[in-house]
Structure 1
């Protein structure tokens, strides 16, 4: 049987191939990053996506297969181009997440395409409710799985800056850096290192105690979080399905998190338990959280300890492997052999 991965990721990537080694499974990856010669054509991004989707669907016609589309856009293209050819091929839409909801026209196209997909995997309960409503999907077809990573160890991450004590903020999707910059301007003795794209900082005054890092590596961002006193995760609203990646990274590294109280994060961050949360768009509330932490970090550090244990149990690659094992067993009637095992680690 074939596992056909369909994504916009690097061509060499093949999801769980190294963890699930069952000889009954043959792994294939169809990526929109393939066909580099198309890059010179007008509208090359769309053409690449179409090629990748058509290639993925074609693979499923060769022998019994499972199609796994990673992200909503690949899922839409594959389902649309299938023209009914996937009736006997299960289609899993994994990592089904929108950082920005589609326009009304695209929403209509997606709603039609998504009806033929068997299951969807999202990373928060809020997204399950939201997407089932927006795309007219039966909630029973949507599974909630915690965002999972193979965690870094702090000891392996070299501190990338000279400051002894500092706060950090990392990320670009759904962020409210306007509020954060306002608060930092009122705390001149507190250092902040910020990783963001230029578009996140348009028309913002950057205080002197804030250092901005742009176009840095993933390792740099991870190391910056690892050695910070705390990470701030300011979001633009209370219903934003963003921030899981950086939140889980900080949790794995044992770094305290101060975040916007968004229901999109409630599966990970609970106020007073695994983080300190503040109301969205309220600078004075964020300032109070930071001042309390700077005066006495004990409470937030205890939250970080509980968050670390939570992440170690639920936000690890083993849970994703288990989920996919169960999906294959339910769909095809056998449990594939895996190599990954639970591995406790220290911060």
Structure 2
């Protein structure tokens, strides 16, 4: 029952939410909670406490393996436990990424802690096997909400972990405003393809090889190993986030080639390109369908179809008016639906609903 006083409300003693993310260094880090509407903050009176990671995070592009190793799990365990202790005092916990969500819900069970859990940015990356499904079903049985960033994943996560539909929520991935660099990194135009998760570089290389277009690929070595890199492709690795965004801002076309399957990937690259106004060609998968309206904000092409990808790239490359159309439409869409402010409204509404359950 809600207890209201002076416009505020208290739901079962809820005082606020701890937020645990592996990219938090401290309370000074900014996240979606810093963009919650003022009336929400005044009405609830909740505190939001960021729980910094107690470990160093390796650059994703430097990783030689995709899965989480034992030492990584131990670091997540310590991080989750610290966050759970904060959550016990506040009443709620928001975790970011599946590893922290899994361990926090597990610790809540075995230590019989009492607080609500929202598992945000639940990007599994690949379909879990049978034993992971069984363990996940037990751990997540009582989770208040799992937030995914593609609509198709809501049904999949329910299927994988035997959850109710009201436990798995779609909210689009947000990226804060990105400032375009003032100085051009290179005057010669190029096609860019960037990222490592579930990327289909064999199809992309076939698509770009005979175009003669200057092309830059930024990816982990494991994505390129064993492939014949075309002569017009320059492969880079270990770039800083700023360097990657600098490349994305100056590209004429940003291509996101993806392996089609029952897992979601590519949204970070897509949304950053949209925020920068860089025209996009992407494989149509569950990870891109909610973000790109083909022909309006970019092009979606069928999986494993190098010819369709080539045609889409060349159509954008050779048409300045189409470049302008996609750039304007995609940046407008991102500002309206994929900004920190937009997700601040959406997530604060979800937290209010969950607190009243």
Would you say 1:147 and 2:161 are equivalent positions? no
Offset at 1:280? 0.6
CA contact (8 A) 1:5 1:14 kept: no
In 2, the alpha carbon distance for the partners of 1:115 and 1:157 equals 50
Contact 1:194–1:210 (8 Å) recurs in 2: yes
Distance 2:153 2:112 in 1: 26
Are 1:100 and 2:114 matched, yes or no? Answer: no
Aligned equivalents of 1:246 and 1:45: distance in 2?
25
TM-score, length basis structure 2: 0.83
Contact 1:275–1:300 at 8 Å: present in 2 too? no
Alpha-carbon distance in structure 1 between the residues aligned to 2:287 and 2:56 = 36
Say if 2:230 is the partner of 1:212.
no
Q: CA deviation at 1:32?
A: 4.7
TM-score (normalizing by structure 1): 0.85
Question: CA deviation digits over 1:251-270, x for unaligned, max 9?
Answer: 11111111111132111112
Given the alignment of the two structures, is residue 224 of structure 1 paired with residue 247 of structure 2, yes or no? yes
Residues 1:10 and 2:10 are matched in the alignment: no
Q: How does 1:1-347 map to 2 (within 5 A)?
A: 1-12=15-26, 13=29, 15-16=31-32, 18-19=34-35, 22=41, 24-34=45-55, 43-61=70-88, 63-83=89-109, 88-154=114-180, 156=181, 158-160=183-185, 162-188=186-212, 190-237=213-260, 239-332=262-355
C-alpha displacement of 1:276? 1.1
> Aligned residue for 1:336?
none
3-state SS in 1 of match to 2:258: coil
Distance 2:355 2:205 in 1: 52
Contact 2:24–2:51 (CA under 8 A) maintained in structure 1: no
Asked if 1 retains the 8 angstrom alpha-carbon contact of 2:55 and 2:75, the reply is: yes
- Alignment-derived partner of residue 340 in structure 1: none
Distance 1:150 1:101 in 2: 29
Does the Cα contact within 8 Å between 2:184 and 2:250 map onto a contact in 1?
A: yes
- 3-state SS of the aligned residue for 2:287? helix
Residue matched to 1:337: none
Report SS of the residue matched to 1:266: coil
Q: Which piece of structure 1 moves more, 305-314 or 76-85?
A: 76-85
1:330 CA displacement: 2.8
- Seen in structure 2, the aligned counterparts of structure 1 residues 238 and 60 have a Cα distance that, compared at 3 Å, is closer
2:127 and 2:262 in contact (8 A); partners too: no
The structural deviation recorded for 1:239 is 4.8
RMSD between aligned alpha carbons? 2.4
Deviations along 1:52-91, one digit per CA (max 9) or x if unpaired, are 2222222233x34211111111111111111266674211
Structure 1 CA distance for aligned equivalents of residues 84 and 56 of structure 2: 17
Contact kept in structure 2, 1:167 and 1:193, CA below 8 Å: yes
| Unaligned runs of at least 5 residues, structure 1 | 37-41, 334-347
The 3-state SS of whatever aligns with 1:263 is: coil
What is the match of residue 339 of structure 1? Answer: none
Q: CA 1:295–1:100 in 2, change beyond 3 Å: closer, same or farther? A: same
